[in-house]
Amino acid sequence: MSRKGENIYKRKDGRWEGRYMKARNEHGKIIYGYIYGKRYAHVKKRLAELKVQYSFSHNNLNLFKGTVQEWLNYWLNGLMRKKIKLSTYSSYRLRIDKYIVPFLGRKQLVQVKSGEVEEFINYLTNLNLSSSTIHSIVTVLKSAMNKAFLENYILSNPCSNLSLSTTTVGEITALSLKDQEKIEQIALNEKKCSAVILALYTGLRIGEISGLKWSDIDFEKNIIYIKRTLYRIPNTENNKKTEIIMAEPKTKSSKRSIPLAKNLKNYLLDKQKIDTSEYVISCKGSYAEPRVISYRFKKNIKDAGIRPIHFHVLRHTFATRCVEQGIDIATLSKLLGHASIKLTLDTYTDSLWENRKEAVSVIDHKLGNATIFS
């Protein structure tokens, strides 16, 4: 039974349950929220706080009268554009226009239900999109809906209890030592500085290599400073399909310093003597954009006689060689500019397998010397 007038009940499992009015649907029907706790006093206190919070919200409702498409445009162009980088804005715009709007765009914002969001996810799945792509699209929708709910533009958030399957990291491919030697020989014979050598011995991303200037390299302190990256992004404001932008690295961890080792330093100094561009990897006196680097790389691998691979494999190869040489994962994470050590671990789990085998073998040696086997 409930305590008189409190909407607090003792459950069969021994916990206390508090119920409060969370919202009303478009037909005026009450939507309840629930809170649980082992102690009655705790539930009572929290329930009182929630009743005040939602009572205030109900008295300050300002329901959005437009469609999902209209809200998304307002959210992205009016609320988010000044807060996010141009590359992020462009990717959000693409996900909204290509995926969200065709399925949900014409619906009234206040009428979107959680079931329709689930249907949207099924729709994305049926498009045979990768798990990571689906996550990125749904993340945009969730962010926009969360903002609408916080601003009292909708009565309830249809994405609040949304669950997605965990993204799986694709298999990481790296060059074998033999193939690495083949492509290095081709790259080292190039007159100008090669993006292949930079990627294999620093682990830089292709956009970071495009944006690297000679002034970013301190040959006295032996440091390479990653200050900018070059993006090719969809252009949403004119008839051009894409445009190139030069910007700071997307995350704080990507803006980093990389030690310059002896052999790479000598290689770069030799190339700098004959270079007339301010960019380390150049094209017609200016930067070489990722498309140009990729085009040159395809020619490299063809000349080296190895299988077709993406330029990003060189970054994976750098990381794999580091793991093979026993570089600790925290150091590798910093070198790669990852946002967290977890990302590095998740990405290079298979590369660490041999290290783990060696580790348990070292410990296992002690068991072989134990007296129980004597």
Domains and CATH numbers, the chain: 8-59 (no CATH), 68-150 (1.10.150.130), 177-205+258-355 (1.10.443.10)
Environment class of residue 244 by beta-carbon count within 10 Å: exposed (0-12), middle (13-18) or buried (19+)?
Answer: middle
Q: Give per-residue pLDDT as tens, 175-208.
A: 999 999 999 999 999 999 999 999 999 999 999 9
The pLDDT score that the predictor gives to residue 374 is 47
Q: Where are the alpha helices (DSSP H) in 275-305?
A: 290-304
Q: Which two tokens stand for residue 230?
A: 């070059």
Question: How far is the CA of 284 from the CAs of 189, 239, 276, 287, in angstroms?
Answer: 20, 26, 10, 8
**Strand pairing class (217-218; 16-24):** unpaired
**What value does the mean pLDDT of the chain take?**
85
Of 96-110, 256-270, 319-333, which range is least confident?
319-333
The pLDDT score that the predictor gives to residue 25 is 58
pLDDT higher than 60, residue 331: yes
Q: Give per-residue pLDDT as tens, 75-132.
A: 999 999 888 888 888 889 989 999 999 999 999 999 999 889 999 998 998 888 888 8
Nearest residue to 251 via CA among 216, 280, 226, 233: 226
